[in-house]
Chain A
Amino acid sequence: MIEVSGLTKAYGPTTVLDGIDFSVGDAQIAAIVGPSGAGKSTLARCINLLERPTGGTISVNGQELTSLSRRDLRAARRQIGTVFQSASLLRRLTAAQNVALPLRYVGLAEDEQRDRVRDLLDRVGLLDRANHYPAQLSGGQRQRVGLARGLALCPSVLLSDEATSGLDPDATRSILRLLMELRDDLGVTILVITHEMDVVRTVADAVAHLDHGRIVEHGAVGDVVRRSDSALSQALLPLPPAPAEGVRRTWRLRYSAPTVDPTWLAQVSRALHSDVAVLAALVEEHGTDQVGRLTVGLDASLDERQVAATFAAQGILASPVVAGVDELERAIA
């Protein structure tokens, strides 16, 4: 459980974080997204206490961390595992030695270190690479070693700071699968800091949008994607541009109910006595919820209110595309 309250960080006159409030419940994955320069890295450094916040509090499992002495802070940091961007492994140590680093710091006995390192490398699927140096590992493997190191001291909170940026889709998937396993098997609370919306859609339970040092939007991912007027929602489920249609009127659809009857397309067609042309679509599962965004073409002579009502009956929010407004919407996304 992480609770951040009123977190402020300023470097001289420049305020980088301006009163951040959020909390992540036990065994939850929360994502912080935002453009570069929004303050994401500073937030990460404040949460793992590499930087002292200027104001506000951070508590992990009820323990307030910002007011601790240097010595207590070191102990407190051990409750927070960090996976760094680009792994940050020591080049002159093997994978196993890298993972053992935090264990050496707490003075664990040699044989216990060996056992623990074995377990950790096994968890990330790299037991056969234990004696490889970072230069002999792929980017994804290095990142998994970094993850194993972050988990070495059984932290209750894991901070993943752009851990998947720069990885190929397969490597990203394997890291994300591991994060979900940690949440589900070990009940680890995970804070993912990322600029990749795919990552958020795949693993996050909750998401917060950081911009100019403030959280401008937040909520459960399932709720956020159904918001009609939200920039974060657009970013999470972007829609490819629809081809121009002559005789048809273009409509944008968005699933507004958590579950939508999968046969809605046929049902709507029957209700309207008119065919629905699907021009672009993105429909996927998020946990038990379905989320979707579509662009469809409908006969231009249909009554707008009737169309909207028909879709609403299926749990779908429909709005006709007005040329200028559509461009504006895309610009926001």
Chain B
Amino acid sequence: MTALVLGTPWSEVHTLLLPALWQTLLMVVIVMSIVVSLGLPLGLLIFNTSPRGLAPSPRVNASISWIANLGRSLPFLVLMAAIIPFTRLVVGTTIGIRAAIIPMSVAGVAFFARLVENAIRDVPDELLDVGQASGGSRWQIIRSIQLVEALPGLVAALTLNLVAMIEYSAIAGAIGAGGLGYLAVNYGYQQFDNHIMVSCIVLLIVLVQVIQFSGDRLVRALVH
């Protein structure tokens, strides 16, 4: 009886915890690669079509901005439910890791695009003038000035986004996506398994702290 109340013996916690950690990391890595490859260009496009950008275009700016806002306007749990038909269309299933990746990417890309836009916005206007006066094309200026000068801001954005994706992966546990969130809800919460609950919490805290610490260190190293 005692064992049932306290939960999985400490010596066996790792058999549940490690696969869950692996699933969480897998989900986050896949989602982040999608987020960066779509969110970065989207963020650059939002900034550069704005009045301060390299190719101002109010109409394009308004429409992309509107799309990016869509992805950020719903709480993640609601978004996940709302786009179930889309998820099924893309990956053919609505449960498991594959199903979780779609809503996570939608929310993540929208979030990251805004973070990128903000980071690029911190590059002084005069530097864009320098690029143009030096005979650079728009693409050259984006690569050699915007991305270079905004790099510390972009790394900070990446850190923030990474932490948010870990949080989302835990929420995605609700649709059976696996990972630490799923473990905490199913064992820790529903079966009153305190050992699992505590282990999941500690592991998530450590994970987030390590990511934030490394991200901050990297940002500091990049600032001259």
Contacts and interface: CB of A to CB of B under 8 A. Distances in A.
Interface of A: 45, 48, 50, 74-75, 77-78, 80, 82, 84-86, 88, 90-93, 101-102, 104-106, 133-135, 149, 152-153
Contact of A88 (B126, B135, B137): B126
Contacts of A45: 129
5 contacts: A74-B135, A90-B148, A92-B151, A92-B224, A153-B135
Contact of A50 (B127, B133, B137, B151): B133
Contacts of B149: 90-92
Contacts of A84: 126, 129-130, 133
A186 B223 CA distance: 37
B136 interface: yes
A91 B144 contact: no
B223 to A, nearest CB: 8
Interface in B136-187: 136-137, 140, 144-145, 148-149, 151-152
A50 B140 contact: no
A74 B126 contact: no
Nearest to B136: A105
Nearest to B128: A50
B126 A101 contact: no
Interface string B204-224: 000000000000000000111
A84 B148 CA distance: 20
B124 interface: yes
**B interface SS class:** helix
B129 A88 contact: yes
Interface residues of B, number: 22
Contacts of B140: 104-105
Given A75-B135, A78-B135, A88 B151 contact: no
A77 B145 contact: no
B132 interface: yes
A88 B132 contact: no
B57 to A, nearest CB: 14
A86 B129 CA distance: 13
Contact of A82 (B133, B137, B222): B133
Interface in B189-208: none
B129 A102 contact: no
A106 B130 CA distance: 15
- Which of A48, A50, A90: most chain B CB closer than 10 A? A90
Contacts of B152: 92
A95 B140 CA distance: 19
Most chain A beta-carbon neighbours within 10 Å: one of B124, B135, B148: B135
4 A-B pairs with least C-beta separation: A102-B134, A133-B224, A88-B126, A78-B135
B224 A135 contact: yes
A102 B133 CA distance: 9
Contacts of B151: 92
Contacts of B223: 91-92
Contacts of A48: 133
Nearest to A86: B126
A50 B224 contact: no
A102 B130 CA distance: 9
Given A93-B148, A135-B224, A88 B134 contact: no
A28 to B, nearest CB: 21
Contacts of A153: 134-135
A152 B135 CA distance: 11
A75 B127 CA distance: 19
B126 A91 contact: no
A50 B134 contact: no
Nearest to A81: B133
Contact of A77 (B124, B126, B132, B222): B132
A104 B145 CA distance: 12
Listed residue (B132, B134, B222, B224) with the most chain A CB atoms within 10 angstroms of its CB: B134
